[in-house]
Homo-oligomer: A and B are copies of this chain.
Amino acid sequence: MAKVAVYRKEHFNAAHRLNNPELDAATNEKLFGKCNNPNYHGHNYDLIVKVTGEPDSRTGYVIDLKLLSDLIKTEVLKKFDHKNLNLDTEEFKQLNPTAENIAIAIYHILRPKLGNHLDLQVRLYETERNFVEYPV
């Protein structure tokens, strides 16, 4: 049967700052400008998870979007929602929480939870005007 892509949109609110701990303060300030504010700023992140596969002949579902929503809530939102990404998460203790790196991290959190017959792609909106997608 032909493949279909299904999408589920969720959101979370988090604080972060852009900062590479391996660089000095002046370089970080130059690279990241106001996003480097040591006291953090924050975003309403919109997260769209795309799962591609063949619809099940019994249900007509690629994946039950209620289950996908629950999976995202359990695995991603519980970690990131109402958190400080730099201070409160394992993923970004050392890694700079750019939108690119957050999307890659979310992909690696969700990928093992989905069967191999399903493809996965993550789109993350940091703002309405700035967003990223992984993998391409």
Q: Which of A's residues lie within 8 Å of B, judged by CB?
A: 2-11, 13-16, 18, 20, 23, 31-35, 37, 39-44, 52, 55, 58-62, 65-66, 69, 81-84, 87-88, 95-101, 103-104, 127-136
Contacts and interface: CB of A to CB of B under 8 A. Distances in A.
A44 B40 CA distance: 13
A104 B62 CA distance: 12
Q: Please indicate which of the listed interface residues A2, A39, A96 has the most CB atoms of chain B within 10 Å of its own CB.
A: A39
A34 B82 contact: yes
A97 B42 CA distance: 14
B129 A37 contact: no
B82 A37 contact: yes
Given A65-B130, A84-B37, A60 B5 contact: no
